[in-house]
Structure 1
Amino acid sequence: MKLAFSTLGVPAMPLADVAALAAGTGYDGVELRTHPEEPVHPDLSAPERQRVRAEFARAGVEVLCLAGYVRVAAPGEDGPVLTGLDRLVRLAGDLGAPFVRVFPGAEGADPAEADAAAARRLGAAAETAAGLGVRILLETHDSHRTGADVSRVLGTVGHRHAGALWDVLHTWLGGEPPRTSAACLGPFLGYVQVKDVASAEDPAPVPLGTGVLPLAECLSLADGDGWVSWEYEKRWFKAAPELPGLLVAGREQLRSLR
């Protein structure tokens, strides 16, 4: 098992410090939140991209994923979505990241139309992604929060470079048993994203193993040699404990579950 954490847990931390934190606490990689307010975003120049890649290489830390905000099932024209996908995938190629994260984003839309739009757009972008050695991962989230929802789209795409990101919180909130999620997502799975919360009504992050999510069961069903990333959503919950002080204990907790 290889471990990563998301920069959602360390908002506003300089990239050099993120890389040093990962290396110093025994994590193999990081998920970089990729948004205009963050240090990493698609408008970076070529020299800036080279510097980001070099920063993590010096620390011996992998950039696992660029966590983007493209909504592939959203209503509307394909053009803006395809442009967003292309920019995100090319940024990942320049940074050496094997994965990019995208959302469904089809709340309120006709389900069949949303599935078709997502499959069409992912299929179109997958060829570019393949040429750059990048996989586009559709996260279990919002309108497609279960493994069954995401696998329904990816089964239509049928391309190796369009896969799934299993966010265990959302499949749990969707009422889907871990065994069902794993069975649905297994053929497409890029990696597993973990977190923990006190209850379905209180989504504030808590240290791994102190909440209600069935982490042990989820991880027992995933590839033992794959990546597991801890998304600690400190950015959205200012009162939550700081992530850096939790990382070592979180690492040990995750290793104890496999």
Structure 2
Amino acid sequence: MMKLSFSTLGNPTKPLEEFAQQLSAAGYEGVELRGRQGAHVHWQDSPARRQEVRKLFADVGMEIVSVSSYIMAANRDARGPDKPDHRDEAGNIEELKRFVDLASDLGARNVRIFGGRLTPGETHEDAIPRLARVMQAGAKANPGINIALEAHDDWGTGELLGRVLDLAAMPNAKALLDVAGPKHAGETPETTVRHLRPERIAYLHVKDAFPMPGQQGEYECFIGAGDWPVEETIALLKKAGWSGYLNVEWEAFYHDYMPPCEVAMVQAAEKLRQWMAP
């Protein structure tokens, strides 16, 4: 049976104590913690802080599903002090291992990473070996924690992520399937799931949106009100017997027109439980 999780991305200034109480009341089993310095958790957090956060969610019966790092693991070179998330390969590996240690202390089973944008002048063929090596190093650091590569940026399809996972060839090198990535890349849910294979999907990011009439871009909305293939993707994975977490990524932090997290978490839980039902 699939489970429900919610990302703290939606409001980085909301205290985790509030998230824990509100998510527990709404029936969520898990939480994804934003891994930014000064915004919920980071590898620089003290041992005492790590134990405090772990206990906070354990006390309300919730699992910390993942720590969301902002590592851009496919980049070849650092891009200067204005781009702190872009490092060379060795720097990405070092950063990833620190996040793996953090996840272990928090009791989380996943660390999210990005591929990021391709380095100018490179192709996916150039970058895939580097990305696979970073994932391998992180996966070897702790076999009990998944390194979850998100379908995002220049790595939005199951076809591309599947190639990286094939090369990484580690049981805990997995994909984080964000429904937006394949949607924007023009890949169908059937194709995405076929390339990734359900057993290699760590968890899902679910959200919804619809096109803005007469404008470029999309308007993010309550789950079920848009045209993103959330229900279709869930149905495919349910048929395959997949039983991971559906993690709601409510991006109110980026879009001030969106209602607050505490409103979205109730609506999302109701809709997703309808789609998850046998």
1:237–1:220 distance in 2 versus 1, CA, 3 Å? same
Number of the residue aligned with 1:116 = 129
Confirm or deny that 1:106 pairs with 2:117: yes
Q: Is the 8 A contact 1:106 1:114 kept in 2?
A: no
Equivalences for 1:72-221 in 2 at 5 Å? Answer: 72-76=73-77, 77-107=88-118, 108=120, 109-130=122-143, 133-186=144-197, 187-199=199-211, 201-221=216-236
Number of the residue aligned with 1:20 = 21
- Deviation digits for residues 126-149 of structure 1, max 9, x if unmatched? 11121xx21000000101110101
Instruction: Report the Cα distance in structure 1 between the residues aligned to 2:137 and 2:260, rounded to whole angstroms.
Output: 40
- Deviation digits for residues 83-120 of structure 1, max 9, x if unmatched? 11111111000000000100001324322121010011
Instruction: Report the Cα distance in structure 1 between the residues aligned to 2:176 and 2:251, rounded to whole angstroms.
Output: 17
Instruction: Report the Cα distance in structure 1 between the residues aligned to 2:103 and 2:218, rounded to whole angstroms.
Output: 29
Q: What letter matches 1:121 in structure 2?
A: V
> Secondary structure in 2 aligned to 1:191?
strand
| TM-score, normalisation: structure 2 | 0.89
More deviation, 56-65/106-115 = 106-115
| TM-score, normalisation: structure 1 | 0.95
- Deviation digits for residues 38-81 of structure 1, max 9, x if unmatched? 02111001111111111111111111110110111111332111
Task: Give the number of aligned pairs.
Answer: 256
> Secondary structure in 2 aligned to 1:234?
coil
Q: Is the 8 A contact 2:250 2:264 kept in 1?
A: no
Q: Is the 8 A contact 1:204 1:233 kept in 2?
A: no
Number of the residue aligned with 2:83 = none
> Which 5+ residue runs of structure 1 have no aligned equivalent?
none
Q: What letter matches 1:38 in structure 2?
A: A
- Deviation digits for residues 137-189 of structure 1, max 9, x if unmatched? 00001011101011111100110111000000111000000000111112411
Residue identity over aligned pairs, in percent, reads 34
> Secondary structure in 2 aligned to 1:257?
helix
Number of the residue aligned with 2:85 = none
More deviation, 237-246/149-158 = 237-246
Instruction: Report the Cα distance in structure 1 between the residues aligned to 2:254 and 2:38, rounded to whole angstroms.
Output: 14
Q: Is the 8 A contact 2:12 2:40 kept in 1?
A: no
Number of the residue aligned with 1:34 = 35
Please state how far the C-alpha of 1:224 moved relative to its aligned partner: 4.5
Instruction: Report the Cα distance in structure 1 between the residues aligned to 2:147 and 2:218, rounded to whole angstroms.
Output: 26
> Secondary structure in 1 aligned to 2:71?
strand
Confirm or deny that 1:242 pairs with 2:229: no
Aligned CA RMSD, in angstroms, stands at 1.4
Question: Which 4+ residue blocks in structure 1 deviate beyond 4 angstroms?
Answer: none
Number of the residue aligned with 2:44 = 43
Q: Which has the higher helix share?
A: 1
Instruction: Report the Cα distance in structure 2 between the residues aligned to 1:243 and 1:18, rounded to whole angstroms.
Output: 9
> Secondary structure in 2 aligned to 1:68?
strand
Q: What letter matches 2:211 in structure 1?
A: S
